[in-house]
Amino acid sequence: MYSKFKYTPTHYFYNKELNPHLEKGKEIYNHFESQARKSLKDFIYQNGQIDGSALKEHWFKIEKADVFLSHSHKDITKVAAFAGWLYNTFGLTSFIDSCSWGYCDDLLKEIDDEYCKNKSGDTYNYQLRNYTTSHVHMMLSSALSQMIDNTECIIFLIHLILSF
């Protein structure tokens, strides 16, 4: 990273500039989101072990993007519109970090439902849950670090309190 800037957009920028780009932003988000979805069963060997490398490769796929966008969950609509604006204005493809973060919990639930339930089936084994959580979060952290390294620009959008 060579430079940093602090920019506070105006209401005009959000309401007049970004709104027309929301559909393209949603399309970009949906593209990356769809890559994160696949059944856990595709990565389980016959002996019950999980192919963690293949799982990471698919669920947290690293794809070419120009900009890494990190944001508060509350700002997903604004971030999608911003990603659309970057694409339509400059031809830049943005990777929105919640495309991966959003499915981390889904992946954990699939793993935990399969491997971490107590015999009663009503609760989870605490130690096994800690183990699966740490592994999935490590895979996610590694994938996000690789994605950051692969982009030319990182933008952290601080929670925007402007109305959209």
Confidence class of residue 162 from pLDDT cuts 50, 70 and 90? very low
Q: Is the pLDDT of residue 85 over 70?
A: yes
4: in domain? no
pLDDT of res. 117? 95
162: in domain? no
The per-residue pLDDT for range 1-25, each reduced to its tens digit, is 556 666 666 777 777 788 888 888 8
Number of domains in the chain: 1
Confidence class of residue 160 from pLDDT cuts 50, 70 and 90? low
Residue with tokens 């919990």: 105
pLDDT of res. 163? 45
5: in domain? no
The DSSP code for 60 is T
104: in domain? yes
Structure tokens at 132: 């699966």
131: in domain? yes
The per-residue pLDDT for range 36-59, each reduced to its tens digit, is 666 667 777 777 777 878 877 776
The per-residue pLDDT for range 120-153, each reduced to its tens digit, is 989 999 999 999 899 888 888 888 888 888 888 8
Buried-state track 140-151, b at ≥16 Cβ within 10 A, e below 16:
beebbeebeeeb
pLDDT of res. 123? 95
3: in domain? no
123: in domain? yes
| Whole-number average pLDDT of the chain | 80
Domain assignment of residue 119, given as a range:
11-157
163: in domain? no
- pTM of the full structure: 0.74
Residue with tokens 């994160």: 36
Which residue, among 162, 135, 132, 148, has the nearest Cα to 65 in the 3D structure? 148
